[in-house]
Amino acid sequence: MSTAGTSKDNTARATSIRSGDRAALARAITLIESRRADHQAQARVLIQDLLPQTGKAIRVGITGTPGVGKSTTIDTLGTYLTSKGHRVAVLAVDPSSARSGGSILGDKTRMARLASDTNAFIRPSPAARTLGGVAAKTRETMLLCEAAGYDVVLVETIGIGQSETAVADMTDCFLLLMLPGAGDELQGIKKGVVELADIVAVNKADGDNILRANAAASAYRAALHILSPRSPDWTPPVLTYSALTGTGIDKLWAAVLDHRRILTDSGEFTAQRQAQQIKWMWSIVEERRSARLRADAHLRSQIQHIEQQVAKGELAPGSAADQVATLLNL
């Protein structure tokens, strides 16, 4: 295809996305997920063209232990938001999807109301080989959704460990969902995840669970006092809600808005967004470096030989790193 033809195609894509064309948005996301070099080049141009229409959405990261009700929460919260006139995009960061298909593939059935809502858009995570690759594609997908007019983007982390940090680094507000019961659950909290949280919300506060949910919330509040908050201007609140009945969902969203307002007033919101953009740039650089390694068989062979020398004690790791840096022209 000629350069002129490619440019014309990208202009048409950008125009369709700006108009809110869901099919065009889905095709554009498929384009940015492609590993073909020509598709990647087109995707970069498309993102650049759409950049002025991005950055205005409220970006919320959502994580929680298995069984906490992430999908039900997103379904209920998303439906609440569309009823208030918002347009909601749901994305996922799941590095396991490259191996297993990822549980997000079933989320359209678990988010039944949102999946059929014309003001909502649900997209599974791309099947990238690395967390960095997944996160980079999710960020680009987020920008496409914003350009298409989605003013709330919910990013769900399904993987564990670093995927939570990746989601926190691409969103404005990081929501940690917890279960009722302040005993084993409290002991099982990962300190790193709690320190990332801007809001802690105890789900399933309904029926006989209400007292247990309130007790859990009190225990979590006490635990948060000994941890360092992400922001000097914001103390993470601990709320209770029910994704099943919708009770407390309005207060949950109000906390998200309060967080945005306070950080905006302090100037921290702008600084955070700027820092995220720089992190994104470097994550892309790292991913391209990894892609080069995967694509160059001769380079891989040389590095494997260096690894073997290190493993056998024949070459010091520092000297090996120098050799690898030379091979990569670093």
Q: With bands split at pLDDT 50, 70 and 90, how would you rate the model's confidence at 105? A: very low
Tell me how far apart the terminal alpha carbons of the chain are, to the nearest angstrom: 34
Lowest mean pLDDT among 194-203, 279-288, 294-303: 279-288
Residue 249 burial (C-beta neighbours within 10 Å; 0-12, 13-18, 19+): buried
Lowest mean pLDDT among 46-60, 67-81, 112-126, 182-196: 182-196
Topology of the domain comprising 54-266 = Rossmann fold (3.40.50)
pTM of the predicted protein model: 0.85
Q: Provide the percentage of residues in the chain whose pLDDT is more than 90.
A: 56
The amino acid sitting at 217 is A
DSSP three-state, residue 178: strand
pLDDT at 126: 63
CATH architecture type of domain 1-53? Up-down Bundle (1.20)
The whole-chain average pLDDT of the chain stands at 86
Which structure tokens are listed for 323? 């050799």
**Contacts (Cβ under 8 Å, ≥6 apart) of 170:** 59, 61, 135, 138, 139, 142, 155, 276, 280
**Contacts (Cβ under 8 Å, ≥6 apart) of 252:** 77, 175, 199, 201, 239, 241
Inform me whether the pLDDT recorded for 128 exceeds 60: no
Q: For the beta carbon of residue 226, count every other beta carbon within 10 angstroms.
A: 7
Residue 183 burial (C-beta neighbours within 10 Å; 0-12, 13-18, 19+): exposed
Q: Which residues are bridge partners to 176 per DSSP? A: 63, 200
Q: With bands split at pLDDT 50, 70 and 90, how would you rate the model's confidence at 279? A: confident
Inform me whether the pLDDT recorded for 277 exceeds 80: yes
Query: Would you state the torsion angle of the CA atoms of residues 280, 62, 91, 114, taken in this order, to the nearest 10 degrees?
Result: -160
The reply to whether 1-53 and 54-266 are identical in fold is no
For residues 293 and 256, the model is more confident at 256
Instruction: Kindly list the distances between the CA atom of residue 46 and the CA atoms of 4, 16, 108, 132, in Å, as whole numbers in the listed order.
Output: 14, 12, 27, 21
Averaged over 119-140, what is the pLDDT?
A: 76
Sequence spans of domains, the chain: 1-53, 54-266, 279-327
* In contact, 55 and 172? CB cutoff 8 Å: no
Query: Would you state the torsion angle of the CA atoms of residues 146, 148, 151, 157, taken in this order, to the nearest 10 degrees?
Result: -60
* In contact, 200 and 239? CB cutoff 8 Å: yes
**Phi and psi torsions of 214, nearest 5°:** -65, -40
**Contacts (Cβ under 8 Å, ≥6 apart) of 269:** 172, 260, 263
Lowest mean pLDDT among 34-48, 119-133, 168-182, 243-257: 119-133
Cα torsion 247, 251, 256, 259: sign = negative
Rounded-to-integer distance, Cα 167 and Cα 157, Å? 7
From 206, 199, 209, select the one nearest 252 (Cα to Cα): 199
Helix (H) or strand (E) holding 88: strand 88-93
Q: With bands split at pLDDT 50, 70 and 90, how would you rate the model's confidence at 16? A: very high
pLDDT at 287: 75
From 98, 99, 122, select the one nearest 109 (Cα to Cα): 122
* In contact, 17 and 28? CB cutoff 8 Å: yes
**Contacts (Cβ under 8 Å, ≥6 apart) of 205:** 180, 213, 214, 240, 241, 242, 247, 248
pLDDT at 3: 56
Which structure tokens are listed for 18? 């700006």
